[in-house]
Amino acid sequence: MSQPTTETGSTPAPQGDASATDASEARMIRIFDTTLRDGEQSPGASMNLAEKLEVAQLLEAMGVDIIEAGFPIASPGDFEAVQKIASAIHHSTICGLARCADKDIDAAWEAVKGARQSRIHVFLATSAIHREFKLRMSTDEIVERAVAGVKRAKGYCDDVEFSPEDACRTEHDFLCRVVEAAIDAGATTVNIPDTVGYATPTEIYERFTMLRNRVPNIDKAVLSTHCHDDLGMAVANSLSAVAAGAGQIECTINGIGERAGNAALEEVVMAMKTRQDYFHCTTRIDSTRLVPASRLVSKTTGIQVQRNKAIVGRNAFAHESGIHQDGMLKERSTYEIMSPEDVGFAKTDLVLGKHSGRAALADRAKMLGFTLTAEQLNTVFTEFKTLADKKKEIYDGDIVALVQHQISGSVDAQWTLVNYVVTSGKGRGPVVELTLRNGDEESTEKIEQGDGPIDAAFWAVEKITGVEVVCKDYRVRSATLGRDAIGEVNLEVEHKGRSYRGVGVSTDTVESTILAMLNAVNRIIADSPKPAQA
């Protein structure tokens, strides 16, 4: 991150309660979570009282410094939720949002006053667009209303935050004027929101540095950042603000929030933790709670977390590529910069799929209790790749089925499956066209008989191989979970008074049946007396 010089040509030291006196010490950055306020403003994310309480309790357990529990004037439900959270939470500060309007500030105080530590957060837009079109106020009126709002809040509690909404599109001179006036009126935290997610990291750095250079009383308040993700820069912008001296980050679990959302708490926290060498900052967050918090918020709001979401997405610690898996098995740090346990995942996930290699397959088979010889591994690997081309993901049950098939199929294969086509339907008899190979020869038969496609497959195998059997037992079992599950067919057949077993696995039950049948037929052939050599 670039460190531009300021308008006065120097870069001031970081300030607020998060300042470290020694540059080698990590600054403590306050985490202000607004999942229950800005996060709840995501369309469709409304939470009921019990849900909000559950989220607040998890945020507290995680070590969040300030919980913005709601906007009390918004509705009786919001008021009640903030009030209940205020009395249920003991360690985090509980904050309520208010416009610069007496009734909002009074309601916010009524809602948060029962908390052990309360904060009132007043806001008023300062940018020209908002002044002219939304508020229809002059610059003087804005300063007057902001000061009056902060003073009214200050009459209730010491901890008052002021936000000049749309600060990042506000003229520098006017922003400095409002911030200075708000601090003089008693604001202890000044938040500089990028309300519409418009700023870039360098601009944020410059704006925070500018404020710290030009606002004379800036050291009397903690500077805070509140970034939206409209251009996908919320996390980068928040970190840039911290690099420029901000002492508080406003963020939400999973980055939910107005429109494209806010900076994701889990991302800013893990960025500062993983790159402490770069940011020289720390937080009070217990990072092992990040995944549980993400799951709770996702479940509660119904907003799904994308698989490739940083830190908490299902793929964040999953590796499918053979080369990466091989590297991971040799040394985890080859492809992981954080440990999954550190953010609350149980473990790294080496996902077996079409991009996986022998190292990961052998490792998984071993974990499942099978130590394969090099030859067995090669055979299972070939079948595994064929299966992986058909299925998106290979589960442990698939591996067990493949390995068992390899072990039970160690009989010399005389007959192998080349292809089959099956048609059947309601009120129509089944038709199976089957092609098998024996050595260099291929034989094809079309069978139009049987009680269904499975029965027809039996007839077709018998017809081509010339081996007739009586089926004594036929069982299909799902070896794995899901719609693309593997079906394992286990057969017991009788031939000339003797019983033979056959097993076949595939995502297609007809194919499993043909494979099981061929497995049994090959056993029968292997068991039959060989013709005398000439």
Ligand X SMILES: CC(=O)SCCNC(=O)CCNC(=O)[C@H](O)C(C)(C)COP(=O)(O)OP(=O)(O)OC[C@H]1O[C@@H](n2cnc3c(N)ncnc32)[C@H](O)[C@@H]1OP(=O)(O)O
Binding site for Mg ion (CB under 5 A): 38
Q: Does the annotation place 228 within a ligand binding site?
A: yes
| Chain centre distance of CA 392 | 19
**Please, which residue, 65 or 398, has the CB nearer to ligand KIV?**
65
**Please, which residue, 90 or 259, has the CB nearer to ligand KIV?**
259
Q: Please report whether residue 161 would count as binding ligand KIV according to CB under 6 A.
A: no
Q: What count of residues does the chain have? A: 534
At residue 123, the 3 state secondary structure works out as strand
Distance CA 383, CA 362 (A): 13
Based on its alpha-carbon atoms, the radius of gyration of the chain, rounded to whole angstroms, reads 33
Distance CA 304, CA 289 (A): 18
The pair of three-digit structure tokens given for residue 302, joined into one six-digit string: 């119904």
Contact with ligand KIV (CB under 6 A) among 14, 70, 193, 340: 193
Cα within 13 Å of Cα(372), Cβ side: 28
Candidate ranges 23-31, 66-74, 323-331, 514-522; the one touching ligand X (CB under 6 A): 66-74
Distance CA 42, CA 427 (A): 52
Q: Residue 314 is inside which H or E element, if any?
A: none
Please list every residue from 236 through 275 that binds ligand X, using CB under 6 A: 258
**Please, which residue, 38 or 229, has the CB nearer to Mg ion?**
38
Please list every residue from 225 through 284 that binds ligand KIV, using CB under 6 A: 226, 228
User: Is residue 193 within 8 Å of residue 226, measured between CB atoms?
Assistant: yes
Q: Residue 478 is inside which H or E element, if any?
A: strand 470-478
In one-letter notation, the amino acid at residue 12 is: P
The pair of three-digit structure tokens given for residue 377, joined into one six-digit string: 């591994």
User: Is residue 417 within 8 Å of residue 445, measured between CB atoms?
Assistant: no
Which of 397, 418, 533 is closest to 477 using CA atoms? 397
**Please, which residue, 78 or 511, has the CB nearer to ligand X?**
78
**Please, which residue, 34 or 490, has the CB nearer to ligand X?**
34
Residue 56's region, left for phi above 0, alpha for psi from -120 to 50, else beta, is: alpha
Query: Three-class SS string for 428-441?
Result: EEEEEEEEEEECCE
Q: Please report whether residue 338 would count as binding ligand X according to CB under 6 A.
A: no
> Which residue in the block uniquely carries the two structure tokens 């089925």?
401
Candidate ranges 187-195, 236-244, 319-327, 385-393; the one touching ligand KIV (CB under 6 A): 187-195
Contact with ligand X (CB under 6 A) among 6, 34, 41, 248: 41
What minimum distance in Å lies between the beta carbon of 182 and ligand X? 13
The listed partner (ligand X, ligand KIV, Mg ion, none) that binds 95, CB under 5 to 8 Å by sort, is none
Contact with ligand X (CB under 6 A) among 20, 49, 74, 329: 74
**Please, which residue, 221 or 234, has the CB nearer to Mg ion?**
234
Q: Transcribe 340-385 into DSSP letters.
A: HHHHT-SS-EE-BSTT--HHHHHHHHHHTT----HHHHHHHHHHHH
The listed partner (Mg ion, ligand KIV, ligand X, none) that binds 71, CB under 5 to 8 Å by sort, is ligand X
Q: Does the annotation place 38 within a ligand binding site?
A: yes
Contact with ligand KIV (CB under 6 A) among 191, 238, 506, 513: 191
Q: Count the neighbouring beta carbons within 10 Å of the beta carbon of residue 51.
A: 18
Q: Please report whether residue 150 would count as binding ligand X according to CB under 6 A.
A: no
Residue of this chain nearest to ligand X (CB atom): 99
At residue 442, the 3 state secondary structure works out as strand
| Binding letters toward ligand X, positions 86-125, x by CB under 6 A | -------------xxx---------------------xx-
Angle, alpha carbons 450-456-458 (nearest 5°): 115
Q: Please report whether residue 195 would count as binding ligand KIV according to CB under 6 A.
A: yes
CA distances from 472 to 409, 432, 460, 505 (A): 20, 22, 18, 19
What minimum distance in Å lies between the beta carbon of 200 and ligand X? 20
Intra-chain end-to-end CA distance of the chain, in Å: 84
| Chain centre distance of CA 458 | 47
Q: Please report whether residue 165 would count as binding ligand KIV according to CB under 6 A.
A: yes
**Please, which residue, 232 or 531, has the CB nearer to ligand KIV?**
232
**Please, which residue, 196 or 486, has the CB nearer to ligand KIV?**
196
Q: Please report whether residue 491 would count as binding ligand X according to CB under 6 A.
A: no
At residue 450, the 3 state secondary structure works out as coil
What minimum distance in Å lies between the beta carbon of 189 and ligand KIV? 11
The listed partner (ligand X, ligand KIV, Mg ion, none) that binds 163, CB under 5 to 8 Å by sort, is ligand KIV
Q: What burial letters (b/e) apply to 236-256, b meaning 16+ CB within 10 Å?
A: bbbbbbbbbbbbbbbbbbbbb
Site residue total, ligand KIV (CB under 6 A): 9
Please list every residue from 121 through 140 that binds ligand KIV, using CB under 6 A: 123
Q: Please report whether residue 135 would count as binding ligand X according to CB under 6 A.
A: yes
Distance CA 43, CA 311 (A): 24
**Please, which residue, 117 or 126, has the CB nearer to ligand KIV?**
126
The listed partner (ligand X, Mg ion, ligand KIV, none) that binds 65, CB under 5 to 8 Å by sort, is none
Q: Please report whether residue 488 would count as binding ligand X according to CB under 6 A.
A: no
The listed partner (ligand KIV, ligand X, Mg ion, none) that binds 191, CB under 5 to 8 Å by sort, is ligand KIV
**Please, which residue, 6 or 195, has the CB nearer to ligand KIV?**
195
Q: Does the annotation place 495 within a ligand binding site?
A: no
The binding site for ligand KIV (CB under 6 A) comprises 38, 123, 163, 165, 191, 193, 195, 226, 228
Specify binding-site residues.
38, 226, 228, 262
Specify binding-site residues for Mn(2+).
38, 226, 228, 262
The binding site for ligand X (CB under 6 A) comprises 38, 41, 71, 73-74, 99-101, 123-124, 134-135, 165, 195, 258
